[in-house]
Amino acid sequence: MPIGNCVEMRGISKRFDSVLANDNVTISAAGGEILSLLGENGSGKSTLVNMLSGIYRPDGGTIVIDGEEQRFHSPEDAISAGIGMVHQHVMLIPVMTALENICLGEKDSDIRRELGGAVLPSPFLRKKYTRGKIDAIIKKFGLKVNPNQKIYDMSIGEKQTVEIVKALYRGARILILDEPTAVLTPQESEKLFAVMRNMKAQGCAIIIITHKLGEVMEISDRVTVLRKGRVAGTVVTGETNPRELTGMMVGESVEMEIKRETFEGEDLSMLKVRELGYTNTEGLKVLNNLSFDIQAGEILGVAGIAGSGQKELCEIITGLRKAGRGSVTFLGEELLGLSPVAIKKRGVRLNFIPEDRLGMGLAGGMSITDNIMLKSYDDGNGPFIDRTKAREQAEKIIERYAVSTPSINHLVRKLSGGNIQKVLLGREIEAKPRLLITAYPVRGLDIGASYSVYDMLNRQKQEGVGILYIGEDLDVLRELCDRLLVLHNGEIMGVLDPRGVSKKDIGMMMLGHAV
């Protein structure tokens, strides 16, 4: 049962220039409670927890810990008050051990005080003290960590556990988790939830930010929803449902069903990959003997732990990276070894929506119109560029894909994540591809924007486009894709009907186990 209000943020406001990120926000989490923080991109979630963790200072309002008002001037102040934050991307030093990362930055004065001595402890005594304290935390909260293991030898889930131990080692009683399961397998997510429940049983207050409504319903006690910087409502998890929460997030009802559309055209193999292999500059096999097909009007999903070769596979198919061996043919024409320009000059309508939407996909410092022109500026005759068609195309994309922007001349980097992705998707789809390669197209997007992307891909499928979909949400992969290719360390563990196998079995394959 919750043990009073462990942390409260009362009437918090924060402004960045003309943008009011948080407007009179009040939330609370009790000891022995898990609070989920939901909201679309730009709703103020990250700003709010960054103030709680001492990264930002609020312009107005108060932070109260165990009944006492706090003023944080730095993350160190927040840590001293018992607040720990585990970011989505781990902040550990790979070449150091778990133990070294956990106690990194610890002051000798703190150790002397806890050991009850004024003399600086010897290296042996210090390590014994540190190891004993870590072992006690591991035992108390039911964690699995090898203190002597190097970070670079750990899975994503193991690294995340080290981050949690690090926060607890520093005395955290209030833990903030930002998108903790974004890159975890189902098995790793289950282990994380078990840890969270153990922490809850020990009286910790936990605040979790996630876009996955299934996880919200499974793990949290209460949910606070933010919309446009304000609290849209706080509800008891057992008294609500995903549809109601989505409505609170976006202000209207959202259709939360992914329909697996059927392509009625003829069977046609668009892409054939045969015995594809790639070894990186360090001599590591990133892709090993990959063979698969993509049919017209088919969405082939790819599931795998981050770093299993997904990025390299996309870049080899699209000509951005050269493979060492194998074959990649599009409608019988060999593409392997060709540059993106050469592929385009051969009339191959192959379009790529990369994971890095503002690095590889679009130029953030250019307008929407200019980004549309990047796709076709070399198609014209002579040195003069006709902007008329680009403006017309930009207007068309803004209208057709519901891009929220002041004008076609607005800088892309000033758009929200969802609108940036809509511009990128719109540009690539309007080029009328025969084959579409998409890498994590909904990563970081809110629910409404994500379902818009799924609809766009389904419409392309109905028009006979072959689609390679790299994703991380197994629920989406199972609903959206016709077949699922599972990767582990650059090898195919199987190509299967995603609805004919459980998430648990897919997770086992992602970990390298045959099912």
Indicate the domain borders of the chain: 1-82+173-251, 92-171, 257-349+433-515, 368-431
Q: Phi then psi for 422, rounded to 5 degrees?
A: -65, -40
Tracing tokens 């017209």 back to the chain, one arrives at 296
Could you tell me where the beta strands, DSSP code E, fall in 247-311?
269-279, 285-295, 299-303
Burial of residue 391 (CB within 10 Å: 0-12, 13-18, 19+) is middle
Output the six-digit token pair for 320.
């951005």
Give the pTM: 0.75
Fold agreement (1-82+173-251, 257-349+433-515): yes
**Distances from the Cα of 408 to the Cα of 163, 376, 388, 416, angstroms:** 43, 17, 12, 15
Which residues, in sequence order, are CB contacts of 437 under 8 Å at separation 6+? 314, 317, 318, 350, 351, 352, 353, 467, 468
Which residues, in sequence order, are CB contacts of 6 under 8 Å at separation 6+? 29, 30, 31, 33, 65, 66, 173, 174, 205
CATH class of the domain whose range is 257-349+433-515 = alpha beta
Output the six-digit token pair for 267.
């069977």
314-351 burial, b at 16+ Cβ within 10 Å, e below that, comes to bbbbbbeeebeebebbbeeeebbebeeeebbeeebebb
CATH of domain 1-82+173-251: 3.40.50.300
What is the distance between the alpha carbons of residues 163 and 102, in angstroms, rounded to a whole number?
A: 8
435's enclosing H/E stretch is strand 435-439
What does each of the 515 residues of the chain score in pLDDT, given as a tens digit?
556 668 999 999 999 887 798 999 999 999 999 999 998 877 889 899 999 999 999 999 999 999 999 999 999 999 999 999 998 777 899 999 999 999 887 766 666 666 666 555 567 777 788 888 999 999 988 888 999 999 988 887 888 899 999 999 998 999 999 888 877 778 888 889 999 999 999 999 999 998 888 889 999 999 999 998 999 999 999 999 988 998 898 877 666 778 787 888 888 999 999 999 999 888 888 999 999 999 999 999 999 987 889 999 999 999 999 988 999 999 989 999 899 889 988 888 999 998 888 878 899 999 999 998 887 655 555 456 677 888 999 999 998 888 888 899 999 988 877 788 889 988 998 888 999 999 988 876 777 778 888 988 999 999 999 999 999 888 899 999 999 999 999 999 999 999 889 988 998 999 888 87
CB neighbourhood size of 213 (10 A): 20
